[in-house]
Every structure is written in structure tokens, then in C-alpha cells.
Structure 1
Amino acid sequence: MTKPPKSKPLLQDADKPARSRPRKPRDPAQPNLPLDPMPDRIDPCLALLKPNPPKGPQWAFEVKWDGYRLAVHIEPAGVRILTRGDHDWTERFPAIAAEARRLPVATAVLDGEAVVFDTHGRSDFGRLQQSLGGRGGNRMSREAVLMVFDLLYFDGRDLTGTELTARRHLLEGLVPAGGEEAIRLSEEIEADGDVLLRIACEHGLEGIIAKDRNSTYRSGRGGEWLKIKCIQSDGFAIVGYEKSTASFGGIGRLLLAARKGDELVYVGGVGTGFNERSAGELREQMDKLIIGRPAVNTGRKRNAVFVRPKLVAEIEYRAWTHDGKLRHPSYKGLRDAADNAGVYEVG
């Protein structure tokens, strides 16, 4: 039996050593594949208010947190914590900044909400403000926790054009669920939206957030994220107050306005929700803004003091009356300019 002929390496002479071709020199006109530049700022995706949770498998649900929206930028040079209004508050959240430095990543941008929890584990906006020294204060908050719900930039890559499901997958690898650190994952909750909203309301939470799993990250209120509240809560401009000798800070009722186009319109008053401290701080702020005539038509008011509409109050309310006034309102606190406080727009 004859032996098969000795095979040759493909396309080569068997007697010559195998050798790869020398590389051509790189064309300097052809750049290397670059990393995405680290953004200085990303305008946040905002949730659109809806009366009921959406239906369908593409919607993911989370708890709605009540705090300050923050973006945490992690770079080799350090950590920056920016508010929604583009203020650098790195020094005011030292625990969050320190935890961000410990995360196993070289570059990242985290999107989340700084909160302070009450004794029942609910986010409490009033406690957060107090921990920061009140509205306009400059204290550091060591109690604040960042509930992080999105990852916008990761290890040199811009993720804003990537669908939510992929962003969440990367985020969950970076910030695991169930931690007790200053940066914690805002977990997705597998439940029917109506059931989850009912449970959230029963536990005294503000509401829930619904997010389209297939959506990219788009700044503004495009409808990819929705918020459904147990109790309505929005920002209203303070246009004055009615004096009272029997109330905290001498404030009987705050006079409130909403935005309608380029103008403000009166939407009623609020006389509950104050304590001695919050009313005192509020009165001090309002007394710096007193004007002789009201900025909006409030109707006839006794013992009223009118102020320039520079302060935005967060007001909880149940509904609207037929004549466009707030029903069962309650004062929650002053929104800070650093949180890009907006005034509610009536239709």
C-alpha cells in the first residue's frame, strides 16, 4: 500500500517556513477607533404624568422616589455630582461621592435620585432638605442615599442610544441589588402596574414610575418614562400669603399660582402642612420679596401680603375644583433652584 503524498500547508511551499505577511504601515489619515467622549452634562429624561399605569409587557416599573435628581460623573480625575439645574453639589453629598469612587469602573455617568428615608423606609423630601440645611442652605448631607436607576455612560461608551434593557443589565452588574451603601439600585418590580400602584399607595409612597424597556435615553418628557402618583404633587409659584396671628410664622394661607402660557394664574391657597420651623424659614424668604400689588389677580383678600413669584412650593393635592382651584392642598416644602424647580402648567 502506497503512502499518501505529504500534504502541503495551504498556499505555501512545504520546504519554506510559515510566515505571515508584514503589516502595512498604518495610514495616518485613517484614525483609530475612538472612545466616546465623556459628556460634561446630560439633560435628564423626565417622566410624563399619567393618571393610570400603562399596560403591556414592554413596561418596567419602579418606585417613585421623592428627592433631588442627580447625575454622578465618575472619571479617573475624580467624581462630580450635578443637580438637574447643573449645580455642582459634590461637596454636599460626601457619602455618595465616596461610594462612587469605590465602584469598579473607570468612567461612568449614573442617573438617580438623592433621598433621605424616614423610619418606615419611605423617601422623605422634607428630611432631605433638612439634612442639607433647608432651602438655600449649604450643609453636607451624610444621610442621603442615591437610588440609581440608569447608566448613561460606561467605560468609555455613550449608552444613551442603547435600549433601557441593555442599560439596566450593565447597571445591575455595577450596582448590585440589596445593598446598604450610599449608592443603591432602584430595583425593577415585576408586577401588574395597577396592583403595584395600589400597594405603593397603601404603604404611603408617592407613586410609581413606568419605563419603556425598548426606549433609548432621551432628554425631556418624551413619554418613554411615565409617573403615576398616589396623591398629586406639583410645584406652584407663591404670589403672597394671608396673615394670621394664630398660625406658625404668622402665615394663615399661602397664595399660589400656576403657569398658563407666558402668564401666571391664581389656583387658590394652602393653609396646612406647615410646622414651626418650615413656616419660619418660609416667612423669612417671603419677607425679602414683598411687593405692593399682586403679580396675579387673586380676587379680594383680607390681610394679604403679596410677593414676587420667585419661590416655588411643592404642594400635594387631591384634585382640581370646577373653577380651577386646588382641592385639599397641603404644603410639602420649597423647591430649590438647584433642582430646576418648575411651576405647574395648566391646560
Structure 2
Amino acid sequence: MTKPPRKSPKPLLGEADALLRSRPRRRRDPDQPSLPLDLMPDRIEPCLALLKPKPPKGDDWVYEVKWDGYRLSVHVGPTGIRILTRGGHDWTDRFPAIQQAALWLPVGTAILDGEAVVLDEQGRPDFGLLQQSLGGRGGKKSSSDAIFMAFDLLYFDGHDLRNSELSMRRHLLEDLVPAGEQGDIRLSEEIEADGDLLLASACEHGLEGIIAKRRSAPYSSGRLGDWVKIKCVQSDSFVIVGYERSTVARAGIGRLLLAARKSKTLVYVGGVGTGFNERNAHELRENLDGLITSTPAAVVDRKGAIFVKPKLIAEIEYRAWTGDGKLRHASYKGLREEQDNAAVYDLDEQRLSSSSR
């Protein structure tokens, strides 16, 4: 016959309803330092994905959808919420729904890394819709349509997680933002699949591409190769150095003239004449007419070209490059915000990346 358990000689709670504590085995050495909490960083430079033509292979790589929006970090602090752009600008007031959702997170302090997106009717991120919800480039509107897709956790309840492996950071993130929830802060879920098959599926569903990340890697600011992006359709940022007029439609813009960086100069890489609608063409023309100059920022051999100061950055979707270094089948997606700190396509960087494949 099983004996009943022995009655505990001590109550679980003391006289003042305080938890009983075990006694230390020995007195603490006063010269031994305590383990203090990490100070919460004011800002963290983001980890950036390196462009590759094919998904990497191996058990150390995990995959996610590539989100087409604005990179943000959401800071949950003791005094409130801050939402910062990739360039460190405070856009808290421009994303009130994300701010409110961050207030409801079950955490005292945290820094979440992710992307603000607006989804279309098929549930796909649409950069144009995101820009429209914010009032266009230079607009001051607040977007209640944007949601935040969280894909990393850099700071959590007093602890800096950047030196921890991705797998641990993701474990904590998934506790904070559970998979499948449909609020204004959602989890960018990891997908267990073959990289090539996942990329094909993403392209079939009209997504921009996928991201591959090393499970064992810490969080490193910059573009070091621990994160890799593989795109269905190429989409990059280029400087607008001029335009050609149209007499038939689209607020008189027939073609934007684009340039990429090479060392410290700008190199003409062709133009784009599609992707405009009446609304964004009118906005473009207003911006461009205030930047007209007689000094071209890049060498452009186009009759009738109107040159502008290289102040505006356009997001351009394209299929390939021609043999003479021009964009092929280019389409305009929208203007990048200055505060977004978007990286202009760098010809030297891409050459080095290609030579290391």
C-alpha cells in the first residue's frame, strides 16, 4: 500500500505571506560583481539582407516571406512607445495602430525588428498602398491601415539579445507575438520548406521573394551575409536624375531617368515609363519641377531630357539588366521617404557580391 506523502514541516508561505527563501551556501564575496540588467539601446542599426540569386542550403538556414514595406523598430520602453525608421527617425505618430498594439504587448521593455506593410485584397504586401496610406513621399498622414510584421527581438525585459542566436531570439519573440494572431502587430512566421520550392511558391503567389537567415547567428548590424534575400522580381532604389515630358497623359511625365551609385558618382542606368497613375504622376511632377537644374548629375545621352537635382529616390521593379548596363522591363513603384534611409543601388557592391558567388 502506498504511503501518503509526509506533511511538510514548514508552510509554503511565511507569517507575512512572503515566499520562503533558501539560505545561500556561503556569504557573497563583495568583490564579485552582480549581473546588472543591460541598458536599453536608444537605437540599433538594422541587420540587412545580402542579395543572392538562389536560396542557401543547409540545416542552419531558415526562411521567411520578404515583406515589401518600410523597415521599422518598435521600442517598448518604461515611458512609452517609440517607432523608428531604418534611418533612426521617429515615426511613432504616423503608425497609431501599431503604437497601440505595442502598448498591449505583455512585456515591460522590448525592441522588435520588423516591417510596416499594407496588405492588398489577396493578403499580399503592397508598397504603393503603404505610401498612399501615409500621404505619399513627404506626406504627413498617419496610417491606420499599416500593420507591423515582427521578425526579430533585439531587447527583452532588460536583456540585450543581440549576442544570442537567432533561434533563441525567435523563441522569445513567438511567446510575445504568437503565430496566427491577426492584430496590428503580427509574427513573420518561419517556414519549414526547401528553399527552392518556397521561392517558386512565393513567386507564384505574387510575393517579392523570400529571406533566409542563419539559425546560429547573432544579430549583426549591416550587410554581413547572415541574412540573405532572394527575389522573384528585382526591386531596388535608384536616384531620379531627370525626366522626359509626355504630351498625352500622366501629368506630362513620359519617362523618369534613373541613376545608380558607382564609387562617389552617379551612373545613368536607363529609364522607366510605366507604373504611374494620375495620382502619383501629379505628385512626381510637383516634386520634380522644384528640382530642375541645368547641370546633370549623371551623363545622360537623351534628347529633350530635363535634368533635376539628385534628391528623389524611386523604388523600381525590373526583370533584368541589358548588356550595356541598363534596366530591362522597369516599372515605377513609388518614391522612397528620405527618413527611410533607403540604400541606392550600388554597382560596385553588386559586382563584388556577384564575384563571390
Q: Please give the TM-score of this superposition, normalised by the length of structure 1.
A: 0.91
Which of the pair has more CA radius of gyration?
1
Instruction: Give 3-state SS (helix, strand or coil) of 2:53's partner.
Output: coil
Alignment partners' CA distance in 2, 1:286 and 1:154: 44
Asked if structure 2 preserves the Cα contact closer than 8 Å seen for 1:47 and 1:209, the reply is yes
Q: Given residue 311 of structure 1, which amino acid in structure 2 is its aligned partner?
A: L
**Counterpart for residue 206 of structure 2:** 204
**Counterpart for residue 153 of structure 1:** 155
**Counterpart for residue 90 of structure 1:** 92
Instruction: Give 3-state SS (helix, strand or coil) of 2:167's partner.
Output: helix
1:30-89 Cα deviation digits (max 9, x unpaired): 553210000000000000000111111111000000001010111121111000011101
Alpha-carbon shift at residue 24 of structure 1 (Å): 5.9
**Counterpart for residue 308 of structure 1:** 309
Asked if structure 2 preserves the Cα contact closer than 8 Å seen for 1:312 and 1:342, the reply is no
**Counterpart for residue 11 of structure 1:** none
Residue from 235, 248, 252 that aligns with 2:237: 235
**Counterpart for residue 106 of structure 2:** 104
Alignment partners' CA distance in 1, 2:26 and 2:76: 38
Alpha-carbon shift at residue 341 of structure 1 (Å): 1.6
Asked if structure 2 preserves the Cα contact closer than 8 Å seen for 1:110 and 1:152, the reply is yes
Instruction: Give 3-state SS (helix, strand or coil) of 2:148's partner.
Output: strand
RMSD (Å), alpha carbons: 1.5
Alpha-carbon shift at residue 293 of structure 1 (Å): 2.6
Alpha-carbon shift at residue 303 of structure 1 (Å): 2.4
Alpha-carbon shift at residue 23 of structure 1 (Å): 7.9
Q: Given residue 88 of structure 1, which amino acid in structure 2 is its aligned partner?
A: D
Q: 1:25 to 1:200 in 2, by over 3 A?
A: closer
Q: 1:255 to 1:31 in 2, by over 3 A?
A: same
Unaligned runs of 5+ residues in structure 1 are 1-19
Runs ≥4 residues deviating over 4 A: 20-26
Alignment partners' CA distance in 1, 2:238 and 2:262: 12
| 1:178-217 alignment, distance < 5 Å | 178-217=180-219
**Counterpart for residue 331 of structure 1:** 332
Residue from 132, 138, 141 that aligns with 2:140: 138
1:224-263 Cα deviation digits (max 9, x unpaired): 0000000000001000001111130111110000001111
Asked if structure 2 preserves the Cα contact closer than 8 Å seen for 1:54 and 1:193, the reply is yes
Alignment partners' CA distance in 1, 2:343 and 2:275: 20
Alpha-carbon shift at residue 272 of structure 1 (Å): 0.4
Alignment partners' CA distance in 1, 2:25 and 2:269: 78
Q: Given residue 52 of structure 2, which amino acid in structure 1 is its aligned partner?
A: K
Q: Given residue 321 of structure 1, which amino acid in structure 2 is its aligned partner?
A: T
Q: Given residue 275 of structure 1, which amino acid in structure 2 is its aligned partner?
A: N
Q: 1:259 to 1:25 in 2, by over 3 A?
A: closer
1:192-220 Cα deviation digits (max 9, x unpaired): 00000000000000000000001000000
Residue from 127, 130, 139 that aligns with 1:128: 130
Q: Please give the TM-score of this superposition, normalised by the length of structure 2.
A: 0.89
Instruction: Give 3-state SS (helix, strand or coil) of 1:290's partner.
Output: coil
How many pairs does the alignment contain? Answer: 326
Alignment partners' CA distance in 2, 1:259 and 1:77: 41
Alpha-carbon shift at residue 21 of structure 1 (Å): 9.9
Alignment partners' CA distance in 2, 1:212 and 1:58: 5
Instruction: Give 3-state SS (helix, strand or coil) of 2:224's partner.
Output: coil
**Counterpart for residue 113 of structure 1:** 115
1:78-115 Cα deviation digits (max 9, x unpaired): 11100001110111111111111111100100000000
Q: Is it true that 1:78 corresponds to 2:80 in the alignment?
A: yes
- Over the matched positions of the two proteins, sequence identity in percent amounts to 68
Q: Given residue 274 of structure 1, which amino acid in structure 2 is its aligned partner?
A: F
Q: Is it true that 1:35 corresponds to 2:37 in the alignment?
A: yes
Alignment partners' CA distance in 1, 2:29 and 2:162: 32
Residue from 66, 79, 82 that aligns with 1:64: 66
Residue from 244, 247, 253 that aligns with 1:245: 247
